[in-house]
Structure formats: C-alpha cells, structure tokens
Amino acid sequence: MTESPLDPRSARAWPSCAIPPIPPERGFEASADVELRPRYEDVTQDGRVQLTALMPGLGAVWRALGSSDKLDTLRARGILPILRRIVIAGEAGPFSAQAPIHYRGTWRLARETDGDRIFLDMWLEALAPVGSTHARPPAPDAERVLVGRVYAEHVVTRPFAPPSERKVTRLDLPGVPAVPEDTHPFEPAEDLVAGHTLGAAAEHTFGVSHTDSNQHVNSLVYPRLFEDAVVRALAARDDVPAPSALLARAVELRYRKPFFAGDRAAIALSASAVARGPHRAAAVGAFAPAGVAGAKPSCTVASWLG
C-alpha cells in the first residue's frame, strides 16, 4: 500500500492500514485454498467488493486448516487464538457477484517483542476474474486478479480457564518451538487513535442481531457501523465531494474487549479529506462504553475511503 497521506489541515499522519509481510516458513505451518461465491450484497453498484465480505474467506480457510494436527492439539488443550487485530485492503475491480472468489491463506506463530504473549497470525489473499454481475459470467479459466487482502492477528490464550491461567507464554507442541522464533510488537488498541482529537460521540445500543455464537458482538459489526458514521459525518461537511459515493477501501481494527447485547457504545471519530494518494477520505475512531467517564475504548478503527 502507499504511504499514509496527511490530513491537509493538521499535517498529522493518518494510520496507514498496512498489512505486514509474511515471515518465512519454519516447517510446521500450513496453507489452504478455498472458493466461495459472494452474496449479492457483497458487491457494490460499481463492482467493488465490500471489505467485510472478505472475512468469510478467512473463516473458510480456518475450517480448511482444521485438519492440522498442530491446531487440533491446541484446541484439545483449551488453547484458542482470539482475534485482536484485523487489517483489510480491497481493490477496485470491477467484480461479479456471479463468479466465485478464490481465497488463499496461511498462518504463522510469533512472540511479543519485549513481552511474553504468543500470536497466531493469518494472511489471506482473495482473487477473482474481472467481471460485471449483469454481464455474461467470466469463463471458468478467466485470469484472476486481486480482490483484496486480509491480515488477522490472534493472541493465543485459554479463554475458558480461570483468569490466572488464561495467559499462554509457551507452546508444548511436537515439532514446534516452545517460544516462537519470529517476533512482532503488541500494539494497544488506543494507540491507533493516539494524537487524534475525536469528535462528539454518537451512542449505539447493541442487540442480539449484532451478536454471534461467541455470545458477544461480532467483530464485523464495528467496521460496518463505523463506515456509516464516517459517511454521515462527511456528508455534513463540504471538503469531500459526494461522500455518499465513498466506500471503505482499507481498514484496521483493534479489539480490547467485547460488547454484548444490551450494551451501549459511544462511537467517536475524526474524519477528513486527504491530501494525496488513491483515497479521498480517512478516519479514525473508537467504540467505548457509553456513560462511563474516562473509559478505555473497547475497539478502535482506522479507515481509508475512496
């Protein structure tokens, strides 16, 4: 991705939503390829694929990797990778809702730089032929181009153990180092919005419709609500032409703790036109418990729109 443009008024750098490079294989990882047909609503009127529509591909790759003995052993010991950070970047297309999307994904282990957390990170590429939903479907052998990419960072933990036993600092798996060789930093959720003055917060009450089988608000609810809030905020200003035509093209989310059905969230954000680059607007924001003074954000977001 290109370097982060600057806010023309404050000259402050916006987060870049960059996907980190894939570390080298260490001999125990696995990769998988799957194909999924997009839903009709996953493709916009101009043929671009919604960023959140790429996430089912990540779940499909997880299921395809389910036969991995390494992951099976972790699950059998009550150890699970818990999603903490997502970066998604989408391409222009156009793409057809009638053509399947090919997903290619892999995973790596890492340890926290200057810390003892263990991460399971995943990378995903989505590819499909260029096409139009209402034209003749692309030929089966049509060339595939990049639809988008996903990076998902998970912290390895024992989520159902007593609090004092949840943290995992070593892995006891045959053929896997007890402490991963590769490292990367743990970046707190609040760091994503550091240095930005967020505007007045709008409140949102979560319902059961926002939840999933993990008994809390689904991770993909946040980028959808945030994109709606950004478009509303830009529509009230005059520095971004046709804000209703904007679509999120890159997004980063960092999760600190979940919301549940019945919880109220205060959504605060800062959005602006950008000075250069392929996107026309950028925004950062936070979801925090409503009515709680000084509460840390439960989820933070940085998004590029074009």
Q: What is the mean pLDDT of each run of 10 residues along the chain (306 residues)?
A: 33 72 87 93 96 92 71 80 94 94 94 94 96 90 94 92 90 85 94 91 96 93 96 86 90 96 96 73 95 93 94
Task: Please answer whether residues 271 and 282 qualify as being in contact, where contact means their C-beta atoms are separated by less than 8 angstroms.
Answer: yes
- Per DSSP, 39 falls in state P
pLDDT at 275: 56
Helix (H) or strand (E) holding 230: helix 221-235
Compute the Cα dihedral for 137, 47, 146, 220 and give only its sign.
negative
Domain closes at, from 184, 206, 235: 184
Query: Which residue segment(s) compose the domain that 218 sits in?
Result: 189-305
pLDDT at 70: 67
Does some domain include residue 175?
yes
**Are residues 66 and 121 both part of a single domain?**
yes
Secondary structure class of 4 (helix, strand, coil): coil
pLDDT at 278: 67
pLDDT at 6: 31
Does some domain include residue 292?
yes
**Are residues 176 and 196 both part of a single domain?**
no
Does some domain include residue 7?
no
- The CATH number linked to 174 is 3.10.129.10
Distance CA 282, CA 291 (A): 27
**Are residues 141 and 209 both part of a single domain?**
no
Helices (H) and strands (E) in the chain, counts: 3, 11
**Are residues 180 and 36 both part of a single domain?**
yes
**Domains of the chain: total:** 2
Does some domain include residue 26?
no
pLDDT at 134: 92
**Entry pTM:** 0.90
> In sequence order, which ranges of 81-143 are alpha helices (DSSP H)?
none
pLDDT at 238: 79
